[in-house]
């Protein structure tokens, strides 16, 4: 039997996706599908790893022994999420060990605002280049970034690549627990007049940074992701869902939602799947 052309593979793949069926093997993929899938999964893997590294100092700096244990568990979760994602990438032919050894996932920048810029050649979303310098920063990162990641990961829960879907179910549950940890602390700190200004200041810092992770409205890359069933919504739809969620929480806790304006001319077309 003659080998199928790339166009024939593309037609079969798109037909399968249109029926709601899942892609289960590399053999079923076109080069284009594989390229975009690899890119998204690498973004998530790198972000999980860089995020875990960023949390490590707060194991020692936590305010009490209970929080030392909680932060330790969050770090363990994030590193394990990264390893699970890298294992999927190994199955797609990525030399993960060589990639890991050639990048510095501990890299952080001193800039207060890098907008949507990337600062290295790894695939992490750029919010993971910022250092987490105070307990308020750590909590607000939980509150904002884990919530933003959760909104992004909703699409991955039912994406067209079955191994990723299967993996995401467990990751999503653990990320939800991380977000709940941030919620509990923000509620507590916002309710105390002694700490409310500090947690508002942290929100002013991390909310705009999180709003920058979702990618450009109407991007061509996002349209390709949706074509292949790797995402379901436009970048800005996910952003607005996150913003509405934050607004509801802020109203409950008595905090002010910071202003944010998109840098349309600079904003990347590459959305985060972190997560």
Is 14 inside any structural domain?
no
Task: Place 44 in a pLDDT band, splitting at 50, 70 and 90.
Answer: very high
DSSP state of 23: B
The CA–CA distances, whole Å, from 181 to 71, 100, 123 equal 10, 29, 27
Task: Tell me which of 261 and 195 has the higher pLDDT.
Answer: 195
In a domain, 83, yes or no: yes
Q: Which residues contact 161 (CB under 8 A, 6 or more apart)?
A: 22, 23, 24, 37, 230
**Do 132 and 54 touch, CB atoms closer than 8 A?**
yes
Task: Judge whether 47 lies within some domain.
Answer: yes
Question: Distance between CA 43 and CA 275 in Å, rounded?
Answer: 9
How many domains does the structure of the chain reveal? 1
**Residue 51: which residues within 8 A CB-CB, separation 6 or more?**
78, 124, 128, 145, 274, 275
Model confidence at 274, in pLDDT bands (50, 70, 90)? very low
Q: Is residue 79 in some structural domain?
A: yes
Q: Is residue 112 part of a domain?
A: no
Q: What is the pLDDT of residue 3?
A: 66
* Residue 236 domain-assigned (yes or no): yes
Q: 264: pLDDT confidence band, cut at 50, 70 and 90? A: low
What is the distance between the alpha carbons of residues 16 and 23, in angstroms, rounded to a whole number?
Answer: 8
Q: d(Cα 185, Cα 239) in Å, to the nearest integer?
A: 23
Inside any domain, residue 34: yes
Tens digit of pLDDT for each residue in 48-78?
A: 999 999 999 999 999 999 999 999 999 999 9
pLDDT tens digits along 2-13: 567 888 889 999
Kindly report the average pLDDT of the chain as a whole number.
91
Question: For residue 112, what pLDDT is reported?
Answer: 79
- Taking a C-beta distance cutoff of 8 angstroms, is the pair 189, 139 a contact? yes
* CATH label of the domain that carries residue 166: 1.20.1260.10
Look up residue 142 and give its two tokens. 């939980």
Q: Give me the mean pLDDT over the 16-32 stretch.
A: 94
Instruction: Identify whether 124 is part of a domain.
Output: no
Segments forming the whole domain that contains residue 87: 24-105+130-253
Average the pLDDT over 205-216 and give the result.
94
* pLDDT average, residue stretch 179-190: 97
């Amino acid at each position: 039997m003659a080998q199928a052309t790339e166009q024939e593979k593309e037609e079969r793949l798109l037909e399968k996706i249109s029926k709601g069926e899942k892609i289960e093997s590399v053999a079923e993929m076109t080069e284009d599908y594989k390229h975009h899938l690899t890119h998204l999964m690498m973004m998530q893997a790198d972000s999980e790893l860089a995020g875990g590294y960023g949390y490590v100092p707060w194991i020692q700096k936590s305010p009490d022994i209970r929080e030392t244990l909680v932060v330790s568990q969050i770090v363990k979760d994030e590193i394990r999420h990264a390893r699970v994602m890298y294992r999927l990438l190994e199955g797609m032919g990525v030399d993960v060990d060589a990639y890991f050894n050639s990048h510095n996932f501990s890299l952080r920048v001193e800039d207060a605002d890098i907008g949507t810029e990337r600062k290295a050649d790894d695939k992490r979303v750029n919010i993971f280049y910022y250092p987490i310098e105070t307990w308020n920063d750590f909590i607000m990162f939980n509150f904002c970034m884990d919530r933003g990641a959760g909104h992004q990961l909703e699409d991955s829960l039912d994406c067209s690549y079955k191994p990723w879907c299967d993996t995401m179910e467990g990751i999503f549950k653990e990320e939800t627990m991380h977000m709940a940890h941030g919620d509990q602390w923000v509620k507590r700190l916002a309710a105390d007049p002694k700490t409310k200004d500090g947690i508002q200041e942290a929100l002013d810092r991390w909310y705009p940074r999180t709003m920058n992770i979702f990618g450009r409205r109407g991007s061509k890359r996002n349209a390709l992701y949706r074509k292949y069933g790797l995402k379901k919504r436009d970048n800005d739809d996910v952003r607005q869902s996150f913003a509405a969620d934050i607004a509801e929480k802020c109203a409950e806790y008595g905090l002010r939602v910071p202003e944010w304006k998109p840098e349309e001319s600079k904003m990347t077309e590459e959305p985060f799947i972190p997560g």
